[in-house]
Copies of this chain bind each other. A is one copy, B any other.
Amino acid sequence: MTHPIINDLEKRYTTKRYTTQRIPQDDLDVIYEAMRLSPSSINSQPWKFIVIESDEAKERMHSTFENKFQFNQPHIKTASHVILFAYNPKYKRDDYAQVIDADTKNGRTQSENREQAFGAFAFVDMNTDEQGNNAMWTKAQTYIALGNTMHAAARLGIDSTPMEGVDAQLIGEVFEHELDGYICDVALVLGYHDDTEDYNAKLPKSRLAKEQVIQVL
Protein backbone atom coordinates (compact mmCIF):
# COMPACT_ATOMS: atom_id res chain seq x y z
CA MET A 1 0.00 0.00 0.00
CA THR A 2 1.36 3.43 -0.93
CA HIS A 3 0.08 6.41 0.99
CA PRO A 4 1.88 9.27 2.79
CA ILE A 5 0.38 8.12 6.13
CA ILE A 6 1.64 4.58 5.64
CA ASN A 7 5.04 5.82 4.46
CA ASP A 8 5.41 7.88 7.63
CA LEU A 9 4.38 5.02 9.90
CA GLU A 10 6.47 2.45 8.04
CA LYS A 11 9.51 4.71 8.33
CA ARG A 12 8.98 5.35 12.04
CA TYR A 13 10.88 2.99 14.33
CA THR A 14 12.55 3.01 17.71
CA THR A 15 15.97 4.58 17.28
CA LYS A 16 18.75 2.94 19.29
CA ARG A 17 21.64 5.36 18.61
CA TYR A 18 21.45 9.09 17.98
CA THR A 19 23.70 11.73 16.45
CA THR A 20 24.12 15.06 18.22
CA GLN A 21 22.16 16.89 15.51
CA ARG A 22 19.65 19.31 17.03
CA ILE A 23 15.99 19.68 16.01
CA PRO A 24 15.25 23.12 14.49
CA GLN A 25 13.11 25.36 16.70
CA ASP A 26 10.34 25.53 14.06
CA ASP A 27 9.94 21.76 14.18
CA LEU A 28 10.01 21.75 17.98
CA ASP A 29 7.24 24.32 18.00
CA VAL A 30 5.12 22.05 15.81
CA ILE A 31 5.81 19.09 18.13
CA TYR A 32 4.85 21.10 21.22
CA GLU A 33 1.66 22.34 19.60
CA ALA A 34 0.79 18.82 18.41
CA MET A 35 1.24 17.53 21.98
CA ARG A 36 -0.92 20.31 23.34
CA LEU A 37 -3.66 19.57 20.79
CA SER A 38 -3.77 15.86 21.72
CA PRO A 39 -7.28 14.56 22.38
CA SER A 40 -8.25 13.11 25.76
CA SER A 41 -11.39 11.83 27.43
CA ILE A 42 -13.75 14.73 28.33
CA ASN A 43 -10.86 16.95 27.13
CA SER A 44 -9.35 16.38 30.59
CA GLN A 45 -5.71 16.85 29.49
CA PRO A 46 -4.49 15.25 32.74
CA TRP A 47 -0.86 15.64 31.70
CA LYS A 48 2.35 17.61 31.93
CA PHE A 49 5.01 17.54 29.22
CA ILE A 50 8.46 18.31 30.58
CA VAL A 51 11.01 18.98 27.87
CA ILE A 52 14.64 18.15 28.63
CA GLU A 53 16.59 20.57 26.45
CA SER A 54 19.42 22.33 28.30
CA ASP A 55 22.68 20.66 29.25
CA GLU A 56 21.74 21.11 32.88
CA ALA A 57 18.37 19.38 32.44
CA LYS A 58 20.07 16.58 30.50
CA GLU A 59 22.54 16.14 33.34
CA ARG A 60 19.64 15.77 35.78
CA MET A 61 17.81 13.32 33.51
CA HIS A 62 21.01 11.37 32.90
CA SER A 63 21.38 10.90 36.65
CA THR A 64 17.99 9.15 36.89
CA PHE A 65 19.49 6.13 35.10
CA GLU A 66 21.85 5.47 37.99
CA ASN A 67 20.04 2.33 39.13
CA LYS A 68 18.46 0.82 36.05
CA PHE A 69 17.67 0.90 32.33
CA GLN A 70 21.22 2.05 31.54
CA PHE A 71 20.71 0.92 27.93
CA ASN A 72 18.60 4.06 27.48
CA GLN A 73 21.02 6.41 29.21
CA PRO A 74 23.21 7.23 26.17
CA HIS A 75 20.26 8.86 24.38
CA ILE A 76 19.88 11.53 27.04
CA LYS A 77 23.08 13.44 26.35
CA THR A 78 23.40 12.54 22.66
CA ALA A 79 19.91 13.06 21.28
CA SER A 80 18.38 16.46 20.69
CA HIS A 81 15.51 16.38 23.19
CA VAL A 82 13.73 14.14 25.69
CA ILE A 83 10.11 14.70 26.65
CA LEU A 84 8.76 13.42 29.94
CA PHE A 85 5.11 12.41 29.59
CA ALA A 86 3.64 12.75 33.08
CA TYR A 87 0.10 12.07 34.29
CA ASN A 88 -1.88 13.25 37.28
CA PRO A 89 -2.61 10.20 39.44
CA LYS A 90 -5.39 12.00 41.32
CA TYR A 91 -7.26 14.09 38.79
CA LYS A 92 -9.80 16.24 40.65
CA ARG A 93 -12.69 18.57 40.05
CA ASP A 94 -10.28 21.48 40.52
CA ASP A 95 -8.16 20.21 37.67
CA TYR A 96 -11.17 19.98 35.39
CA ALA A 97 -12.16 23.50 36.42
CA GLN A 98 -9.07 24.74 34.58
CA VAL A 99 -10.36 23.15 31.38
CA ILE A 100 -13.82 24.61 31.84
CA ASP A 101 -12.34 28.02 32.57
CA ALA A 102 -10.39 27.82 29.30
CA ASP A 103 -13.64 26.85 27.54
CA THR A 104 -15.42 29.81 29.05
CA LYS A 105 -12.63 32.16 28.04
CA ASN A 106 -12.68 31.09 24.39
CA GLY A 107 -16.47 31.08 24.13
CA ARG A 108 -16.92 27.31 23.98
CA THR A 109 -18.93 27.30 27.20
CA GLN A 110 -21.17 30.16 28.30
CA SER A 111 -20.37 31.19 31.86
CA GLU A 112 -23.98 30.55 32.95
CA ASN A 113 -23.48 26.90 31.89
CA ARG A 114 -20.35 26.40 33.98
CA GLU A 115 -21.98 24.02 36.47
CA GLN A 116 -23.54 21.96 33.69
CA ALA A 117 -20.13 21.59 32.04
CA PHE A 118 -18.97 19.63 35.07
CA GLY A 119 -21.41 16.88 34.08
CA ALA A 120 -18.68 15.21 32.02
CA PHE A 121 -16.69 14.79 35.23
CA ALA A 122 -18.85 11.69 35.85
CA PHE A 123 -16.29 9.89 33.62
CA VAL A 124 -13.59 10.74 36.14
CA ASP A 125 -15.71 9.56 39.07
CA MET A 126 -16.29 6.24 37.27
CA ASN A 127 -12.53 5.76 37.05
CA THR A 128 -11.59 6.90 40.55
CA ASP A 129 -11.12 4.57 43.53
CA GLU A 130 -11.89 5.32 47.16
CA GLN A 131 -8.47 6.86 47.72
CA GLY A 132 -9.05 9.32 44.89
CA ASN A 133 -6.68 7.47 42.60
CA ASN A 134 -7.48 7.49 38.88
CA ALA A 135 -3.97 6.85 37.56
CA MET A 136 -5.01 4.01 35.25
CA TRP A 137 -7.33 6.42 33.48
CA THR A 138 -5.02 9.46 33.37
CA LYS A 139 -2.04 7.33 32.32
CA ALA A 140 -4.09 5.96 29.40
CA GLN A 141 -5.00 9.50 28.28
CA THR A 142 -1.33 10.42 28.33
CA TYR A 143 -0.59 7.52 25.98
CA ILE A 144 -3.00 9.07 23.46
CA ALA A 145 -0.72 12.12 23.53
CA LEU A 146 2.28 9.81 23.13
CA GLY A 147 0.75 8.12 20.07
CA ASN A 148 -0.21 11.47 18.61
CA THR A 149 3.25 12.94 19.20
CA MET A 150 5.09 9.97 17.69
CA HIS A 151 2.91 10.31 14.58
CA ALA A 152 3.68 14.04 14.39
CA ALA A 153 7.43 13.43 14.79
CA ALA A 154 7.36 10.84 12.01
CA ARG A 155 5.71 13.37 9.70
CA LEU A 156 8.50 15.82 10.44
CA GLY A 157 11.21 13.25 9.71
CA ILE A 158 12.29 13.31 13.36
CA ASP A 159 13.39 10.00 14.87
CA SER A 160 12.10 8.91 18.24
CA THR A 161 12.49 6.40 21.05
CA PRO A 162 9.57 5.83 23.40
CA MET A 163 11.00 4.64 26.71
CA GLU A 164 9.14 2.86 29.47
CA GLY A 165 12.67 1.95 30.50
CA VAL A 166 12.93 4.95 32.80
CA ASP A 167 13.17 5.01 36.57
CA ALA A 168 9.86 6.57 37.60
CA GLN A 169 10.94 6.78 41.22
CA LEU A 170 14.22 8.60 40.56
CA ILE A 171 12.54 10.88 38.00
CA GLY A 172 10.00 11.63 40.71
CA GLU A 173 12.80 12.67 43.05
CA VAL A 174 15.02 14.57 40.60
CA PHE A 175 12.12 16.40 38.95
CA GLU A 176 9.94 16.63 42.05
CA HIS A 177 9.46 20.37 41.71
CA GLU A 178 8.48 20.28 38.02
CA LEU A 179 6.27 17.20 38.33
CA ASP A 180 4.39 18.64 41.30
CA GLY A 181 2.71 15.33 42.15
CA TYR A 182 2.43 14.02 38.60
CA ILE A 183 4.03 10.68 37.68
CA CYS A 184 6.37 10.08 34.75
CA ASP A 185 6.93 6.45 33.80
CA VAL A 186 7.35 7.00 30.08
CA ALA A 187 9.50 9.43 28.09
CA LEU A 188 10.10 10.13 24.41
CA VAL A 189 13.54 10.79 22.96
CA LEU A 190 13.58 12.94 19.83
CA GLY A 191 16.42 13.55 17.40
CA TYR A 192 18.16 11.94 14.45
CA HIS A 193 19.52 8.42 14.24
CA ASP A 194 23.16 7.59 13.71
CA ASP A 195 23.36 5.85 10.36
CA THR A 196 26.38 3.73 11.19
CA GLU A 197 25.69 2.88 14.85
CA ASP A 198 21.92 2.35 14.92
CA TYR A 199 21.42 -1.37 14.26
CA ASN A 200 17.65 -0.94 14.46
CA ALA A 201 17.54 1.44 11.49
CA LYS A 202 18.38 -1.38 9.13
CA LEU A 203 16.13 -4.12 10.52
CA PRO A 204 12.76 -4.78 8.88
CA LYS A 205 9.67 -3.36 10.56
CA SER A 206 7.72 -6.09 12.31
CA ARG A 207 4.05 -6.18 13.18
CA LEU A 208 1.52 -8.95 13.70
CA ALA A 209 -0.41 -9.80 10.54
CA LYS A 210 -3.63 -7.92 9.81
CA GLU A 211 -5.64 -11.11 10.42
CA GLN A 212 -4.17 -11.37 13.92
CA VAL A 213 -5.25 -7.93 15.12
CA ILE A 214 -8.13 -6.72 12.92
CA GLN A 215 -11.54 -8.32 12.48
CA VAL A 216 -14.12 -6.65 10.27
CA LEU A 217 -17.65 -7.66 11.27
Contact = CB atoms under 8 A, between A and B. Distances in A.
A156 B5 contact: yes
A14 interface: yes
A8 to B, nearest CB: 9
Number of copies: 2
A150 B150 contact: no
Interface stretch (A16-24, A98-106, A190-198): A98-106
A141 interface: yes
A67 to B, nearest CB: 14
A217 B45 contact: no
Contact of A148 (B50, B98, B148): B148
Contact of A99 (B41, B50, B53, B206): B206
B34 A123 contact: no
Contacts of A106: 204, 206
B47 A30 contact: no
A94 interface: no
A214 B51 contact: yes
Contact of A36 (B33, B45, B147, B208): B208
Nearest to A40: B162
30 contacts: A4-B155, A5-B30, A5-B34, A6-B30, A6-B33, A6-B34, A9-B38, A35-B214, A36-B213, A39-B150, A45-B208, A45-B213, A50-B215, A51-B214, A53-B216, A54-B217, A56-B217, A60-B217, A106-B204, A107-B204, A108-B203, A136-B139, A143-B143, A143-B147, A144-B146, A144-B147, A144-B150, A147-B148, A147-B149, A151-B151
Interface of A: 1, 3-6, 9-10, 12, 14, 29-30, 32-39, 41, 43, 45, 47-54, 56-57, 60, 98-99, 102-103, 106-108, 123, 135-136, 139-152, 155-156, 162, 164-165, 178, 203-210, 212-217
